[in-house]
Amino acid sequence: MARDLYDIISDRREESFDPPFRREGSDDAFLQLVIQPIYNVIHNEATMSKRGTVSHSKWRNYDDLNEYFWSKKCFKQLGWPMDPASDFFADPTKTKNDIERHDHSMSRRRMSKTNFVEVRTFLHLFRSFDRMWAFFILAFQAMVIIAWSPSGSLSAIFEPAVFRNVMTIFITAAFLNFLQATLEIVLNWKAWRSLVCSQMIRHVLKFVVAIGWLIILPVTYSSSIQNPTGLIKFFSNWIGNFQSQSIYNFAVALYMLPNIFSALFFIFLPMRRALERSNSRIVRFLLWWTQPKLYVARGMYEDTCSLLKYTTFWILLLICKLAFSYYVEISPLVGPTRTIMFLGRGKYIWHEFFPYLQHNLGVVFTIWAPIVMVYLMDTQIWYAIFSTICGGVNGAFSRLGENIYLP
């Protein structure tokens, strides 16, 4: 890089160009033959986007142009010196009739996007932060089950019936895992041609395993229900004589085994650092299920003290958030919800959107919808509070903003 910079400063860069640039006989030959055509392509694509209002699949953005110059197509199709008749320089703003009318020799088409067209949908919010959403959903389900118990206190979780109902969160977790595996395949479907074989196998296996757990956990849970009815009775008859709570507990333990290992690796950083730096095939195969092989910044983590402070910060934040949600949002609403559900359906003068729902479920949904929205979104408020407190305390002890030179 230093040598190239020296050549540019000393005007020796022209010697490395092919003769066509020197034959032009002007000082701006490189500007006209290289810079200006590329600039025209960028300008035309920006015009094609109509200030970003056109679908991103209709025009080439920076990533597409950058990836093109890093690909083999750049030398095969564009050539050097660059061919002005290449598909890369086709004007996207011209229609087919304009090209045929003004330039009969131009028998080319505009080059498409280099990368796959990303599927843009709000489902990326769940796919990108699936662990966060899964934690909030499972915690909300557990708190509602505990608050709905006869006592309504947190100690009710130690009651066998309540604890058995709380264990259904693993069935919900299996469904969320299945949803995540499905989104990984659906939203990356157009990118499969750019994936290596091991990545394809990993996505397919995760999808198959998610389907397996989505079947195994409900079936084994139905075996622990006494006097089952409906669909649970069907599953109980299906598995036959294995009427035991231990089957579901064993299935849950097996289901949680990868997460337990991930938690241990998160706590014991030296072990995680050594495993990620290892090139052993066995270790790579075990880690392959959780993440692809990383070459950049692998084995680089914070020290144990920083990790402990970071973990403590989020544990305290989530404890306060969940305690506030349970005692202020969820628990006070359980009693009125029961009353509304057991009331008879009245006659209303106004139009009813859900007139045939039993137990006034439309009213219940209307009451609980704002609570659920606040529950899912108030984490940022707690984060702002804790960040202010921790930042203020840390700044005070670090004596930030203090001028030590003043008398």
Residues in contact with 367: Cβ distance below 8 Å, sequence separation at least 6, in sequence order: 333, 336, 337, 340
| Residue type, position 50, single letter | K
Helix (H) or strand (E) holding 384: helix 379-398
Residues in contact with 105: Cβ distance below 8 Å, sequence separation at least 6, in sequence order: 85
Question: Where does residue 360 fall: left (phi above 0), alpha (psi -120 to 50 degrees), or beta otherwise?
Answer: left
pLDDT in the model for residue 150 = 87
Query: Helices marked H in 1-129 — which ranges?
Result: 2-9, 19-23, 29-30, 36-49, 62-69, 73, 96-102, 124-128
User: What is the C-alpha to C-alpha distance for residues 24 and 20, in angstroms, rounded to an integer?
Assistant: 7
Q: What is the dihedral of CA 275, 279, 281, 287, to 10 degrees?
A: 40
Q: What is the DSSP letter of 175?
A: H
pLDDT in the model for residue 7 = 65
pLDDT in the model for residue 298 = 65
pLDDT in the model for residue 381 = 94
Structural domain boundaries of the chain? Answer: 2-51+59-102, 122-144+164-256
Using a 10 angstrom Cβ sphere, with 0-12 exposed, 13-18 middle and 19 or more buried, the burial of residue 401 is exposed
CB atoms within 10 A of CB 395: 12
User: What is the C-alpha to C-alpha distance for residues 318 and 323, in angstroms, rounded to an integer?
Assistant: 8
pTM of the predicted model as reported, rounded to 2 decimal places? 0.71
pLDDT in the model for residue 223 = 74
For 62, the 3-state DSSP assignment is helix
C-alpha gyration radius of the chain: 31
**Burial annotation 133-154 (CB, 10 A radius, 16+ → b, else e):** bbebbbbbbbbbbbbbbeeeee
For 398, the 3-state DSSP assignment is helix
pLDDT in the model for residue 99 = 44
pLDDT along the chain (407 residues), means of 10: 63 53 62 84 83 74 76 76 78 55 47 62 84 94 93 86 91 94 86 76 91 92 65 51 67 89 81 78 77 64 82 94 94 90 72 70 87 92 94 85 69
